[in-house]
Structure 1
Amino acid sequence: GMIVELGFLVAATLIAAYALVSMGRLATGPNTGGKTVSLKTMGLMALMAQSGMQLPAVEARLTLFDNVFADIGDEQSIEQSLSTFSAHITNIIRILERVDDRSLVLLDELGSGTDPAEGAALAQAIISYLRDKGATSFIATHYPELKFYADQQPGATNASLMFDVDTLSPTYEMAIGIPGKSNAFAIARRLGLDETVLDEAMRLNGAGSNEAEALLDSIYDLREKIASEEAATRLALHQIEEEKDVLARRLEQIEEERAQIMAAAQAEAQEKITAVEEELRQARWQIRDAQSLNKLKKVRKDVARLEEATAVTLAPPQAKSASRKKPDLQVGDVVRIKTLNTNGEIVSLGKKDALVVVGRAQMRVKLPDLIFKSRPAAAEPEVEHVSHIASPGLELDIRGRRVEEGLAEMEAFLDRAYLSQMPWVRIIHGKGTGRLRTAVRKALKQNPHVATWEEGKDGEGGAGVTVVKFAD
């Protein structure tokens, strides 16, 4: 055991591979599993960081401590008549006299060397004392009572060191939050202990302990499965990123090839134009009679056609003219209703309005609000005129929203629909508990734009839909 004073050490901000942040952490696991090495590593990391030394780690967050207390190793002494238990208790007494909330405490095999029941009880009491003092503690133990203590007490955490039973060697991997296994039976079986002795030992150990060990086995198996799945996911993501890069490079190549093809086409067309112009110049020198003049005119027409064809092939598409004459509307014409942004068919035509069929519904629409689309006999396309207030559509789906969110979204939708002169809309709120439906219909009664509303009919959603009609 040792006590290290840190009053003279220089504090520094460093990077390492673990964080000393918990009030108490209990490390469990088999013998030779690496518990003692882990305790020593934690203490050395803290001392090295506060001494301004480079840590052998990638990243860490470390607490600055005024003192580091450690009781690690067997301190039997014939000269001082101290047993293993007495030596540990002597060190612990000195530690408890000086520990405070700015201390790091490292205890190896706390409570060992005496009766297991008494040792476990004493160990729990010492850990509770350290926790009350606010000290940061790391404790290695084999006692199952301390595993349950760490699982149930706030401020305490289980940790375990992994052990490869097949090779009988530690992996030096620490799992936080999971108690460790002693693996005594597994190690004994691996080393060749008689099965009769092992069966008797497991029977004496009790069914409860064997079930707990089996549960831990399943937890570790699940942990390994999750780790392998995470590795597979990371590999798949890496492959997806590589494929994404390949596709991006291929797209760049396609764009380059397209530019090269366009440049080649332009060059070829220019060569043809140049050749025709040269023929034209030669023809001018050969004009002697009307026949030659006619030949010149034909060549000019050929040049004009070639230039026009070249311009159509290479020039970017131009916007269609919007100055076509609007034909008179007739019964049977397919028209677009500007306020609804949807198509319908004229079934009756008046002087100022028309009766239009939209799906299974019929409505009267003013003639200026209709845009000619097509006619069964001779269709002449008509350029669309976009309404100043775009239609938000005939439906609003607020299923799954909270009441406040759904009402706010509905109010904004109704305002846009009313301003775009829509005659009616459908609010889809679902059936559910009925809270959202009740709130919607209550809000519709108070909306100044709403003339009437009614529940959706069969085929329209029934009680899960409300059809809203606007005031003129």
Structure 2
Amino acid sequence: MLRETSAAALEWQRLREQMARLTGSAAGRDRVLALEPSTDAVWIAQQQDCIAEVRLYLATGAAFYFTAVFAPGSMLEKARIPGAALEPADLLRVLALAELMEEWRAVAQQEEPWKAIAEISLPVTQAYLAPLLHALRGKIEPDGSLSDDASPELARLRNAIARQHRAIEESLRRSLRAISESGAAQEELITLRGDRFVIPVKTEQRRKVPGVIHGSSSSGQTVFVEPLETVESNNELLRLLDEEQAEVHRILVAMTRAVGDHAASLESGAEVLTELDALFAGARFAQTLDCVRPEFVEHEIAVKAARHPLLDLQLKSEGGSVVPLTLSLEDGARQLIISGPNTGGKTVSLKTVGLLALMAQAGLPVPAEEAKLPVFAAVYADIGDAQSIERNLSTFSAHMTNLDRITREADASSLVLLDELGSATDPEEGAALAVAISGHFLRMRAWSLVTTHLNSMKIYAATNEGVVNAAVGFDEETLAPTYTLRMGIPGASAGINIAQRIGLQPEIIAAARNQLDHQTADIGRFIDQLHMQLAAANEEREALRKRELALEREKQRLEAEGRNEQRQKARELEGKLTSLMKDFEHQMREAAGAIADKAASQKLAKETERRLARLKREFSEQFNATVVAHISGADKKDPNAQPHVVKSINVGDTVKLRTLGREVRVDREVSSNVFEVSMGPMKMRVQRDDIAEVVRKAPAETPLQAVKRKGGVTVAMQTDPDITPREINVIGRTADEAQDEVERFLDQAFLAGLPSIRVVHGTGMGILRRTLRDYLRRHPHVANVTEPPYNEGGQGATVVELRL
């Protein structure tokens, strides 16, 4: 824990009370009210982690209620005593606690967002409470009585008691009717006296009703008689009631024993749930104030847009908002001197930094956009009116007593907050003391924030390394504070200026100015000049900021245009390379076909090597040329930039397709890049880059054809299609070889429009037959696969019907 927190001066208790309102249980509230800042970095980090995880959990809209949490210490101590019996109401509270532990187990064991929470929840998640819940559930009514289902014996006894009640009432009612006829009954009423059922009888008629008298009324006119015929029934009822109480006690003892057996788990679980209640309150508090997790650093104090939490809560409730505070001590600076007019926010600045430091070290997020703080060993504050009537001390003496203690205890790891240092005494002596005290804290390297009206302190800050001036804002036009803090310059007290603008007589203002010595006047003018320069700098900075925003927008626009242009170029290049790859694939298939044709010769290896080397070289040259031409833009409007794309294609030409490896005739030019071609009776449309080469040019047009074409009729002669074979023989091939040949043959037959083909594979061991038939049955062009008759090949062939 911190050596000193100055909790009263910084209103730490008020902050805890505000946060305690967000707890769900008295135990959680006590935990929050006892929360103290720590110097243990590991504990602080764990608390910050836990609250961050709870905030993520709450942000999803989830909720968890800790109303059943309480400190069960005294109950558990009693439960550990052999033969002890807890009251049903206490057992109900223990049951609620155990059920809450089971509910939290389900929440804590989820994968996200828990990590730190899961770690502190281990005593709950590892507890085994099933026997306890079985022993307690359903046995106690909400009013604290035991349920009839608490045990079979208790149910039996209560049924017997109910029957005995009814029997006694029937007997007494018969007696009442009998004595009512004789006029001896005071009234027809059955009542209880000393656990015995009785009837009221007139005093003078008591001898007419034989039985036991159990007292009389206050007037003496009525006696309460237990008729002799119900005495035994009443005795039996009392016996049953005694047995019921004995059974109830036995059940309570058994339930209490179950609680005692799980006392350790219940105690640790209650501790965990109490801690979680406090953490949930901290997370809700942080959400309300839009807090951030502080960053702990060694050599810097920096808060951005920080808000005093209590002031922020108050103004929010009134529909207002706090002017945020931004300040920093860095680059070796350890002391900040804040000056400026009254009510400008100097004291609030001190309290904000001090309270944020306590919150951060208590493991709480802080109300700011950003916060960097050291881990302080102590926080000392001398703020407000310290007059002590009890000790007969003046304000100045009380301040000096407190300052004497702080100067003796503070060190380089302390945060010192001093409000109006050197006030409440002679200004010259106060200024000298203020400078001396500030110098003392500076020499010991303590972190210190000091507010002042004294010019000597402003000069001290400007002339000493490690000290920074700051000024609270004041609008001289409206005579109102702005509550903003400006770093790097001192603030003017502006007392005479305020008096002048309010309308104090000019001669009084002039006399006041004459009373200022020359040094004070010079300092005042210097500060006024600083503020004018600051205003001009702010205007210039705003103009620069607008220019930077405009430049940034223009930069983003140009970058977006550049990215769009790059994407367009990439798409163009991708199209060109795709076309190039198609050409390469076609050449590879041609090479593979040529190699297969030469397989009968002994030059296979040499020919393969030569062809592949040539193809590799040509593809590499075309690939590089395409990329370079595209990047440099040399291919724009250049019809020769893609040599692998056939340029001159005319109607009537015979061309070869890359994808099919077949020759087709060009019938019509659909567009500049699309042609309609025919192969036998089959027609199709193909892209220009799918045409590998022009095999034969169309014959020259005769004059007669030209005349007919000009007249609106085009006459074209088409030769008979190639006679496509209807049978393929793959005997002697391996299964893979046979399948490849059949696949090519099947494609050719399908394109030629043949209704069926015949595959001869031989009988052999049947492996080739089974492989080919399985393949053909799955082929998309095949409608049916059958075996021909024995005289047409039988098992040595397969007939394949094609889809038309």
TM tier, smaller: 0.5 to 0.7
Q: 1:218 Cα shift? A: 1.9
Q: 1:230 Cα shift? A: 2.2
Please point out which of 529, 534, 543 is paired with 1:232. 543
Q: Contact 1:20/1:61 (CA < 8 Å) preserved in 2? A: no
Which amino acid is 1:200 matched to? A
Please point out which of 696, 702, 710 is paired with 1:286. 702
Which amino acid is 1:3 matched to? S
The corresponding residue for 1:80 is 391
Q: Find the residue that maps to 1:61 and give its secondary structure.
A: strand
Unaligned runs of 5+ in 1: 293-472
Given the alignment of the two structures, is residue 35 of structure 1 paired with residue 367 of structure 2, yes or no? Answer: no
Q: 1:144 Cα shift? A: 1.0
Please point out which of 411, 416, 423 is paired with 1:105. 416
Please point out which of 123, 140, 147 is paired with 2:434. 123
- Taking the TM superposition and a 5 Å limit, the aligned residue runs for 1:4-23 are 8-11=38-41, 12=44, 14-15=294-295, 16-17=303-304, 18-19=327-328, 21=330, 22-23=333-334
The corresponding residue for 1:175 is 486
Q: Find the residue that maps to 2:520 and give its secondary structure.
A: helix
The corresponding residue for 2:534 is 223
Q: Contact 2:455/2:523 (CA < 8 Å) preserved in 1? A: no
The corresponding residue for 2:361 is 50
Unaligned runs of 5+ in 2: 9-35, 46-293, 296-302, 305-326, 576-634, 640-645, 654-666, 669-695, 708-804
Q: Distance in 2 between matches of 1:84 and 1:201?
A: 27
Alpha carbons of structure 1 residues 244 and 155: separation in structure 2 relative to 1, 3 Å:
closer
Please point out which of 496, 501, 515 is paired with 1:190. 501
Alpha carbons of structure 1 residues 19 and 63: separation in structure 2 relative to 1, 3 Å:
farther
> What do the CA deviations read for 1:380-409 (whole angstroms, capped 9, x no partner)?
xxxxxxxxxxxxxxxxxxxxxxxxxxxxxx
- Taking the TM superposition and a 5 Å limit, the aligned residue runs for 1:50-449 are 50-250=361-561, 274=650, 284=700, 286=702
Q: 1:129 Cα shift? A: 2.3
Q: Contact 1:10/1:52 (CA < 8 Å) preserved in 2? A: no
Which amino acid is 1:198 matched to? I
Alpha carbons of structure 1 residues 253 and 131: separation in structure 2 relative to 1, 3 Å:
closer
Alpha carbons of structure 1 residues 133 and 281: separation in structure 2 relative to 1, 3 Å:
closer
The corresponding residue for 1:303 is none
Q: Distance in 1 between matches of 2:483 and 2:349?
A: 8
Q: Distance in 1 between matches of 2:459 and 2:544?
A: 34
The corresponding residue for 2:6 is 3
Alpha carbons of structure 1 residues 47 and 141: separation in structure 2 relative to 1, 3 Å:
same
Alpha carbons of structure 1 residues 271 and 20: separation in structure 2 relative to 1, 3 Å:
closer
Moved over 6 A (4+): 252-255, 257-260, 262-266, 275-283
Q: 1:206 Cα shift? A: 3.0
Q: Distance in 2 between matches of 1:119 and 1:155?
A: 22
Which amino acid is 1:59 matched to? E
Q: Contact 2:329/2:335 (CA < 8 Å) preserved in 1? A: no
Alpha carbons of structure 1 residues 2 and 246: separation in structure 2 relative to 1, 3 Å:
closer
Please report the TM-score for the alignment, with normalisation by the length of structure 2. 0.32
Q: Find the residue that maps to 2:370 and give its secondary structure.
A: coil
Alpha carbons of structure 1 residues 192 and 284: separation in structure 2 relative to 1, 3 Å:
same
Q: 1:10 Cα shift? A: 4.2
Alpha carbons of structure 1 residues 246 and 213: separation in structure 2 relative to 1, 3 Å:
same
Alpha carbons of structure 1 residues 239 and 81: separation in structure 2 relative to 1, 3 Å:
same
Which amino acid is 1:143 matched to? L
Structure 1 range deviating more: 277-286 or 230-239: 277-286
Q: What's the RMSD between the two structures over aligned residues?
A: 3.9
Q: 1:116 Cα shift? A: 0.8
Q: Distance in 2 between matches of 1:101 and 1:251?
A: 55
Alpha carbons of structure 1 residues 282 and 232: separation in structure 2 relative to 1, 3 Å:
same
Q: 1:169 Cα shift? A: 2.4
> What do the CA deviations read for 1:39-96 (whole angstroms, capped 9, x no partner)?
1011111111111110112223211111111010012243433222122112112222
Alpha carbons of structure 1 residues 281 and 197: separation in structure 2 relative to 1, 3 Å:
same
> What do the CA deviations read for 1:243-284 (whole angstroms, capped 9, x no partner)?
233344456677859979x99998xxx999646978998874
Q: 1:29 Cα shift? A: 0.8
Q: Distance in 1 between matches of 2:510 and 2:461?
A: 30
Alpha carbons of structure 1 residues 176 and 284: separation in structure 2 relative to 1, 3 Å:
closer
The corresponding residue for 2:61 is none
Structure 1 range deviating more: 43-52 or 131-140: 131-140
Alpha carbons of structure 1 residues 252 and 28: separation in structure 2 relative to 1, 3 Å:
closer
Q: 1:103 Cα shift? A: 1.2
Q: 1:8 Cα shift? A: 4.3
Q: Distance in 1 between matches of 2:435 and 2:395?
A: 19
Which amino acid is 2:429 matched to? E
Q: Percent identity?
A: 38
Alpha carbons of structure 1 residues 65 and 252: separation in structure 2 relative to 1, 3 Å:
closer
Q: Find the residue that maps to 2:428 and give its secondary structure.
A: helix
Q: 1:133 Cα shift? A: 2.9
Alpha carbons of structure 1 residues 106 and 244: separation in structure 2 relative to 1, 3 Å:
closer
Q: Contact 1:33/1:171 (CA < 8 Å) preserved in 2? A: yes
